[in-house]
Amino acid sequence: MTEYTNSQIEHIIDEYIHNSIHRDILKSRLIDGIIFDDLAYQYGISVRHIKRIVYKNEKIIFSHLKRHINDTFLTFYIYAISDIFKSWILRNFTTKSYKAKK
């Protein structure tokens, strides 16, 4: 599992969450660990509404993180396959027997 620093999470939130209040709420929840009741009191919004904001925006953030992880895995997989394929080509098509058949 990939671990992210607080500054990376903050950057991702700034990048993908466009509402400034939602950004502040999500940063307070994910980075500072403030509970829903305190967030509701701080922003003057019901706990139910705070939870809706957090869950909706977490879904956005996690989908981007998942895509990043999948892209990283795919890149690694492509490089691994290309290295295997490259070694297979070198092994099978650079031998003396292949050159002699030409």
> According to the model, what pLDDT value does residue 93 have?
56
> According to the model, what pLDDT value does residue 69 have?
61
> According to the model, what pLDDT value does residue 53 have?
95
Query: Lowest-confidence range among 5-9, 45-49, 78-82?
Result: 78-82
Q: Which whole number is the average pLDDT over 80-90?
A: 56
Q: What's the pTM value of the predicted model, to 2 decimals?
A: 0.64
> According to the model, what pLDDT value does residue 28 have?
94
List the one residue out of 53, 56, 60, 47 whose CA is nearest residue 24.
53
What pLDDT digit, counting tens, does each position of 16-74 carry? 999 999 999 999 998 899 999 999 999 999 999 999 999 999 888 888 777 766 665 55
Cβ neighbours, 10 Å, residue 2: 8
C-beta of residue 54 within 8 angstroms of C-beta of residue 6: no
Q: Which whole number is the average pLDDT over 6-19?
A: 90
Cα 87 to Cα 64, 73, 90, 95, 97, distances in angstroms: 34, 21, 5, 12, 17
Assigned architecture for domain 6-101 = Orthogonal Bundle (1.10)
